[in-house]
Structure 1
Amino acid sequence: MPKKVAQVPFIQSLDRGLTILQAVATSRQPVTLGELSELLGVDRSSAFRLAQTLRRRGFLSTPAGRKDYILGSAIWTLSRQYDWSNMLVRVAHQELKALAQGLNETAHLAIREGRSALFIDSVHAHHVIVVAGQTGELVPLYATAHGKALLADLGEKELHHIFGADSLQKFTKTTIKTIPALSRECVTIRDHGYATDDAEYMEGIRCVAAPIRLNTGMIVGSIGISAPASRFLKEHYPSHSKLVMLCAKKIGQLLSVSDEVSEQSA
């Protein structure tokens, strides 16, 4: 006999309002009232009242001279006031700790900060020789496993927008030096699900990291481990990357809307 799934109570009008916000936020163009009506499965007057309520509170806006919708200033204000990196640390720390303890190597959690990856949490290994990266440290996106994992979904045009047309700074003999090469590396990362750093930023250090994705596919961070090359051999990449990807997946699931809630709000 199939197990009965408990029904989670929710407020339909609030659910529909949040659905509108998600739709407008993920659309590249202003969203029309007709599109909102079709999305929600309600008549235009009901969709209009919901959208106007959000507009009244500043969560939606209408471009000058138009009647369709874009996000309002209240979204920007809230996002500026909230410390997203602190939220990610709270959600991910136990998984980060488990990863470091499982492999007995230094583990880092990172987010993108301009052209750099910012370590927002770290758990160190119990070795005499450990990687010295600390929370709060900025490292180059293109020369580190964490940074490349954060760039995984970008194409050559987007990478040029970030780094410009000049050659990339060389840190070691294995550093990626051009945007086309970095773009090819991003394709490999998307295919494999993880990024590597074979002494590309620091001599004698190897790293592996995976992007943390929401259930929408959006990358919100990266997690991985770093170790001296004398201890982290190339043949360890398959086993280490498997654990890193599993850890990233767990964190993504913790950050995402559950399938049960998604199904009930459909």
Structure 2
Amino acid sequence: MPRRAAAEGDTSAAGEERGAQAIHRVLTLLEVFSTAGPSISLTELSEHAGLAVPTAHRMLRALQSRGYVTHDPISGHYSLGPSVMTLAQAVLVRGEQDRLLTLAMPHLEALRDQTNETTGLHVVLGNSRVCIAECVSPEVVRMALGVGRVLPLYAGAAGKALLSGMRDDALDAVLADGAPQRPGRPTTAEAARLRRALVVVREDGYATSDEEAAAGAAAIAAPVFGARGVEAAIAIAGPAARWSRTARTAAVPRLLATVATISEQLGHRPGGDNPRAARPRRGATSGTR
């Protein structure tokens, strides 16, 4: 009996060691992106990580299935995926975005109570946007993203509100007209339409969307400015059948007043250092219809 117990203990320890080794290999593979570049081929990844190509490929497929890496079928290169960004965002939220969340939460709750629709706070995350706070509608039929949900930056009212405050060079990098299509990047035609829509969003101070980010969903959103420019976007979203264009338009003054209050508390000076700061025409409609 003692010999059997010892053998079982040895087997368990060996299994734990193999599991730890596999974790270290995966982490080594991910760390390659921080030194070798943001977009790397399978061969380069395996060489830098000191792994056999088949081993690296198996690990990359597992990471890709969970969104930690993405694969471009045209170039064959791998890049870090949105799941890595979501983890990084969790750290950032505890730091520099603490104040933003503290200021925004009471306003998100008030807007939710006033409109009976879901309100959310969104920030830029690479070429995407992520919802970092949400107050869900009490209605049975409602729209809810969930905190931490990552969406393309170019799709939806919140995305357009965030893009409207970007400098031209940053906007060009996100849209990259003519570049190969990949997740989080619009086609050339979509980019052209979006550029036209952003002109109106900047004039009006807010954006609208109808079923752009999710089927059956409608939303309005406005940018929140800080001392350095656009810090976030506040969105109000609901089922398109109930959250109609008329209902959304009626809520615009509340939304604009809310983002103006938060922006002031964050140190934004209207018409000051930020050339992208919109001058709202209250009650107007904007964005891609």
Q: 3-state SS of the aligned residue for 2:160?
A: helix
1:135 alignment partner AA? V
2:133 corresponds, among 99, 121, 132, to 121
Structure label with greater radius of gyration: 2
Q: For structure 2, which runs of at least 5 residues remain unmatched after alignment?
A: 1-90, 271-289
Residue 199 in structure 1 maps to residue 217 in structure 2: no
Residue 151 of structure 2 corresponds to residue 151 of structure 1: no
Q: What value does the CA root-mean-square deviation take over the aligned residues?
A: 2.9
Correspondent of 2:263 among 232, 237, 252:
252
Q: CA deviation at 1:156?
A: 5.9
Give CA deviations for 1:172-220 in whole Å, capped at 9, x if unaligned.
xxx9942222111111110010011111121111000000013x57111
Say whether 1:209 aligns with 2:191.
Answer: no
Show the counterpart of 1:234: 245
- Deviation by residue 1:107-153 (Cα, 9 ceiling, x = unmatched): 00011111111111000111011112111111111111111101103
SS in 2 for 1:122: strand
Work out the CA distance in 2 between the residues paired with 1:106 and 1:191. 25
TM-superposed CA distance for 1:85, in Å, is 2.4
Q: Which letter maps to 1:236?
A: A
Number of residue pairs matched by the alignment: 177
Structure 1 unmatched runs, 5+: 1-78, 260-266
TM-score by length of structure 2 reads 0.55
Residue 192 of structure 2 is aligned to residue 180 of structure 1: yes
Alignment of 1:1-266 (within 5 A): 83-154=95-166, 157-165=169-177, 166=179, 177-214=189-226, 216=227, 218-256=229-267
1:84 aligned counterpart, secondary structure = coil
When the two structures are superposed, what TM-score results if normalisation uses the length of structure 1? 0.60
User: SS of the counterpart of 1:209?
Assistant: strand
Please tell me the residue identity of whatever aligns with 1:89.
Answer: L
